[in-house]
Amino acid sequence: MTNNIEENSAIDDGVVKYSLEFEQTQELLIKQCKKIEKIRQRLYALGLIGAYKNGIGYGNISLRHEQSKEFLITATQTGELKKLKPKHYSQVTNVNFETFKTYAKGCSKPSSESITHAAIYALDKNINAVVHVHNEKLWNFMLENNYLSTNDTPYGTPEMVEDINDMYKNIDPLLNNAFVMKGHFEGVVTFGKTLKEAEKTLYEIIEELLK
């Protein structure tokens, strides 16, 4: 039995900002959840995914579902959890960029960064994984060293989607698969054809930082 929930979400940090239609279901895509979880646990151990002292979680990972527009993503406000179970994941089934409405299903509502993930997947059908982490030193390093950057734009907004589209208007996203979110303190995004590729790109930037 399912339960459809429609809401216009709040603006506060850590809270979903777009209009969301959510279908409450049982656990889904369990194998894909486990694939994400392997990487998530490594990033959690490094402090790249977690929660601030005020309880607001940060960091999320997603994986495209079977070459469709749908993707599996860690649920909202799960950053503080060391380990996630399939019930802590959500499947985004559609994003309408014109109405800024997101459709999702699962045991939990999707991450507040779902719109950002959807915008990245829309860049290229070969992008299959997105990793979003938080780290102040990494964020500053990327801003100071001319990595791709959005404008001073809040996350989860139409302006963020526009920024992403503008950044990749004339360049191949898979050859430039990382950017820093200037308007989202500490926010860094990498992506790739696979989860491993997205994770590898993140580690390569960290290695540059540590040199």
Q: State which residues form the domain around 113.
A: 3-210
pLDDT in tens, 154-196: 888 889 999 999 999 999 999 999 999 999 999 999 999 999 9
pLDDT the model gives residue 1: 37
3-state SS assignment for residue 207: helix
Q: How large a percentage of the chain has pLDDT more than 70?
A: 91
Closest CA to 72 of 34, 16, 18: 34
By C-alpha distance, which of 65, 61, 203 is closest to 132? Answer: 61
Residue 12 in this model has a pLDDT that exceeds 60: no
> What are the structure tokens assigned to 44, written together?
């959690």
Among 71, 77, 30, which Cα is nearest to 50's? 77
Task: Please write the tens of the pLDDT for every residue from 80-126.
Answer: 999 999 999 999 999 999 888 999 999 999 998 899 999 999 999 99
Q: Which residue's entry shows tokens 């045991």?
A: 107
Instruction: Return the amino acid letter for 167.
Output: M
At residue 167's C-alpha, the angle toward residues 164 and 192, to 5°, is 70
CA distance 168 to 140: 21
Q: Total domain count for the chain?
A: 1
The model's pLDDT over 49-83, given as tens digits with 9 standing for 90+, comes to 999 999 899 999 999 999 999 999 999 989 999 99
CATH code, 138: 3.40.225.10
State the pTM of this model.
Answer: 0.91
